[in-house]
Structure 1
Amino acid sequence: MRLSARCFMANKRAFDKYASFSPSPVSIRDLLDFGSKTGNEETSFVFLRHELPVRLANIMKEIRHLPKNLRSMPSVNLVKSWYDQSFEEILEFEDKKVVDKAILKDFSEGLQKIKNRHSKVVETMAQGVLELQETYPTYYNFTTVNTNTEAIRYFLDRFLLSRISIRMLISQHVLLYGSLVADNPRYIGSIDPACDVLEVLQAAYSDARFLCEGYYLTAPDMEVTCFNPYEEGEKIKISCVPSHLLHILFEILKNSMRATVETHANKDTIPSINVMITKGREDLTIKISDCGGGFSQDIRKLVFEYMYSTAPRPDYVGEGNAPMAGYGYGLPLSRLYARYFGGDLQLSSIEGHGTDAYIYLKVMTDNANECLPVYNTTASRMYQSDISVSDWSSNKPWNNSHPRGFSTHARKLH
C-alpha cells in the first residue's frame, strides 16, 4: 500500500531524526542487571522505542550508500523493504506516552513480529550478493580482495553486526516480558549468567560430528583440556549468550573436521581435534587445533571474506539439510558474534600441517560491551571507490582489528 505524500514526508523526517543519533551500546552487565534487578517492562519499552529506530536508521543509511549495482539486486531490495517496514512499525509507538498493559502487549507482539520478519535476512542478503556476482562476474570477483569487494565486505560486517545487536535487544525484551520462554530457567533473557563453556563445546561438537559423519561416514574425535588457574577445581563458566558461542564453536569445529577428514582420507587413522579452554582474569580463550593441512598466507587474506570458500558452493538444500561448507559466510559471521561483546576470532595456520583457531571472550561482564557500527562521514566515505586504493607496493598488511566507524563505548540502560 502506497504512503500518502504527507505520511511519506513524516516518515522521512523521523528517519533523518533517528539517523542523526548514535546507538547507545550496552554491556552484558547492563543487560543482566536490567533483567534481574533494575529494569521493568515499561522502562524497556521507553528505551527500545527510541534505541531500535536509531539502530535501524543508522544501518539503513548505509544501505543507501551501497553501489547501485548491488542496491538494484532483487534480494537486496527485499531486505531493504523489511527494514523500512520494521522502522515504520516501531514509529507507531513513538508518541504513546501513556503506557498501559495493552500498549505494552502490542509492543511486545510487534517486536516478535519484526524478529520473525528478519529471520532470513542473512540468507537473503547473501543471495543478493550472489545475484550481483552472477550479474557482473568480472567486476565483483570475491576470490580476490579489491576495491569493489572491500566496500561490500565493509558493509556486510557492519550490517550483520547491527542485525545481531537489534535481535539481541528484541530477544531480551520478548523473553523477559513477552510470550517467549527462555531455553533455561537460569537464563536472563538470552544470557546465561553462568554458562558452562565445556558443555556448549560438547554440544557444538556433537552437532558438527553428526553433520560430518553424514557427509564422510567418519569424523575426528575431540580431546579437551581445561585450565582455570584462578578458580582451581571449578568448572569454567562465564556470562555470555550461549547461542552465540554455540554458533562460533560449531562453525570452527565443522571446518576443522572437514579439513582433517579430507587431508587424511587415505590413511588408517584420523587425527583428533585438540581443544584448550583457558579462563584468565579478563579473557576466556578457546584454542581449537587441527591437523587438516592448514593454508597459505595468500589464503589467510581471504578466509574472512564473504563469498569466499575453499569448498565448492553446494546446491540449494532444504530445511534440516545443512551443507558441510561452501557458502563463505561461516567464518566472517562467527567473527562478528565473537566481536559483538568485545571478543575476537583469529586463525593461525601452518601450511601442510594444520590450523589453530583462537576464540576470545570477555570474562568480566562490565568489559563485555556491544561493538556497534555508527553511521557518520567516515562510514559514508568508505563506500567511495577511491578510499580503498593501497599505498603499499604489494598487498597491504592484513588487519583484523575492528573496522573504522564502530562504537565500543558503553552507556547504561536508563
Structure 2
Amino acid sequence: MHLSRYLLRPLSAAIGKQLEHYSQFQPSSLSIQQYLDFGRTGNVTSSYIFLKKELLVRLANIMQEIALLPPELLRMSSCRLVNDWYKESFTDLLRYEQAPPEKQFMDSFNDELQKVLKRHSHVVETMAEGLIELKDAHGIDIASERSIQYFLDRFYINRISIRMLMNQHLLLFGSVLPESPRHVGCIDPQCDVEVVINDAFDNARFLCERYYLTSPNMKLEAINSVSPAAKIQLVTVPSHLYHIMFELFKNAMRATVEHYGVDQDLPNVRVTVVKGREDLSIKISDRGGGVSRTILDRLFNYMYSTAPPPPRDGAQAPLVSLSILLSVPDVVDLSY
C-alpha cells in the first residue's frame, strides 16, 4: 500500500478516494453473446449508465496493479508515462459519475471516450519501452521477471477488454461507423475466416517482400466438418482474428526466409482451418527450422524474443512489428 499511496500523491484526495473505492469492485464478465444481444436490443441510455461505472472499475483495477510493479520499473520514465495516462483517463471519466443520462452528457461522454482511446493508443509500446529501460539500467532478476510477466498478462487482457467496451459503445451509439452493415458494433456474426486469413497473409507478405525481396506462398486448406459445402464462418471481432494471424504469419515468414535464404525456393506456409461442432481450429505450419525444446517454456515470455534487438535509431527491423520488438511474446501479440 505504500507504493499505492506514492503513486496516488499527484491525485487530489477526493480522486484518490474514488480510485480506492472503484478498485474494490470486480469488472463485469461479458460474453460475446451478451455483446451481440445488447447490440441488437440495447439503447444508448442503458449503455451509458453501465459504461460510465464499468470503465472506472476497470481503470481503477489496472492502476492498483501498476502500483504493485517492482519499484525499479515504476521509476522508469515510460512506465510513469503509462501510469499518468491512466490517471488522466480515470479523472476525465470520473466527471460523468453523477451525470444523468441526458443527451448533452451522453454526447460529451462519447467525445471523452474518443480522447481516451487516442491517449492510450501507444500504451503497449510505451510499457515495453519501460521494460527495455529497466533491462538496460538494472537488469531483471527472476523474481521481478515473474512478477512482470504476471502483471503484463493481466494488463494487456484488461486493456483489450476496455478498448472493446469503448469501441462497441461508439460503434453502436456514437459517430463511428462499423466496417460493414452486417456487423453488430465491432462483432461480425458471420465472419468469413478465409477472407481474414488471406488478408492477413497478403499484408504480412508485403512486409516480407519489402525487407527480404522475397516471401513464401501460402497453402490454405479449409475443412468444414459441420457443413462441408459451406464457407467457414465465425462469430468474432474480425480485427482481433486478423491481428493474431498477421503476427503469426510474420513470424513464419521471417523464420522461413532466414532458414532457407533469399536466393532459394521457399516452401509454403501451410494453414489448416477446421470447423467442428463445438469449436474452430487454425493451424499454421512453416519449415523455418523449428524452435529448440530448451526455449519452449520461454516463448510466451514478454522479455524474450528470437527477433533481433530493436534498433534504437529508428532503423527498420526485419519483419517484426514494433509491438513484437518491444518485449511481447514471440509467438503471438494479443495486445490489440
**TM-score (structure 2 length as normaliser):** 0.91
**Alignment partner of 1:192 is 2:188:** yes
2:102 counterpart residue number: 100
2:293 equivalent among 294, 297, 306: 297
2:34 equivalent among 27, 30, 35: 30
SS at match of 1:160: helix
Q: Distance between the aligned counterparts of 1:129 and 1:266, measured in 2? A: 33
Q: Distance between the aligned counterparts of 1:318 and 1:173, measured in 2? A: 36
The alignment covers a number of residue pairs equal to 323
1:76-124 CA deviation, whole Å, 9 max, x = no partner? Answer: 1111011011111111111123x22111100111111111100010011
Residues 109, 318 of structure 1: alpha-carbon distance in 2 compared, 3 angstrom cutoff: farther
SS at match of 2:214: coil
1:82 equivalent among 77, 80, 85: 85
2:17 counterpart residue number: 13
SS at match of 1:334: coil
1:63 counterpart residue number: 66
The amino acid that maps onto 2:227 is E
1:129 counterpart residue number: 131
Q: Distance between the aligned counterparts of 2:240 and 2:71, measured in 1? A: 33
Q: Distance between the aligned counterparts of 1:44 and 1:190, measured in 2? A: 15
C-alpha contact (below 8 Å) 2:26/2:57 kept by paired residues:
yes
1:252 counterpart residue number: 248
The amino acid that maps onto 2:14 is A
SS at match of 2:12: helix
Deviation at 1:228, TM superposition (A): 0.6
SS at match of 1:286: strand
Deviation at 1:296, TM superposition (A): 1.0
Q: Once structures 1 and 2 are overlaid, which stretch shifts more, 309-318 or 235-244?
A: 309-318
Q: Distance between the aligned counterparts of 2:115 and 2:124, measured in 1? A: 17
Deviation at 1:336, TM superposition (A): 6.4
Residue ranges of structure 2 left out of the alignment (5+ in a row): 1-8
Residues 82, 190 of structure 1: alpha-carbon distance in 2 compared, 3 angstrom cutoff: same
Deviation at 1:298, TM superposition (A): 1.4
Q: Distance between the aligned counterparts of 1:175 and 1:130, measured in 2? A: 36
**Alignment partner of 1:236 is 2:238:** no
Greater RCO (CA < 8 Å, at least 6 residues apart): 1
Deviation at 1:332, TM superposition (A): 6.2
SS at match of 2:235: strand
1:212 equivalent among 208, 211, 221: 208
SS at match of 1:119: coil
Q: Distance between the aligned counterparts of 2:317 and 2:177, measured in 1? A: 26
Q: Distance between the aligned counterparts of 1:94 and 1:333, measured in 2? A: 37
**TM-score (structure 1 length as normaliser):** 0.75
Deviation at 1:334, TM superposition (A): 2.9
Deviation at 1:327, TM superposition (A): 3.6
Residue ranges of structure 1 left out of the alignment (5+ in a row): 338-414
Structure 1 ranges of 4+ moved more than 2 A: 316-319, 325-328, 330-337
1:324 counterpart residue number: 319
1:275-308 CA deviation, whole Å, 9 max, x = no partner? Answer: 0001112211000001110011112111111131
1:112 counterpart residue number: 114
Equivalent runs, 1:137-176 vs 2, <5 Å:
137=139, 140=140, 146-176=142-172
SS at match of 1:226: strand
Q: Distance between the aligned counterparts of 1:12 and 1:27, measured in 2? A: 31
Q: Distance between the aligned counterparts of 1:196 and 1:178, measured in 2? A: 26
SS at match of 2:119: helix
SS at match of 1:285: strand
The amino acid that maps onto 2:48 is F
Q: Distance between the aligned counterparts of 2:162 and 2:332, measured in 1? A: 15
C-alpha contact (below 8 Å) 1:160/1:333 kept by paired residues:
no
Q: Distance between the aligned counterparts of 1:266 and 1:82, measured in 2? A: 43
1:23-76 CA deviation, whole Å, 9 max, x = no partner? Answer: 101011101111112x11010000001110111111111111111000000011
SS at match of 1:278: strand
Deviation at 1:175, TM superposition (A): 1.0
C-alpha contact (below 8 Å) 1:215/1:324 kept by paired residues:
yes
The amino acid that maps onto 1:20 is Q
SS at match of 2:158: helix
Q: Distance between the aligned counterparts of 2:326 and 2:111, measured in 1? A: 33
Looking at secondary structure, tell me which structure has more helix per residue. 2
1:180 counterpart residue number: 176
Aligned identity (percent) is 47
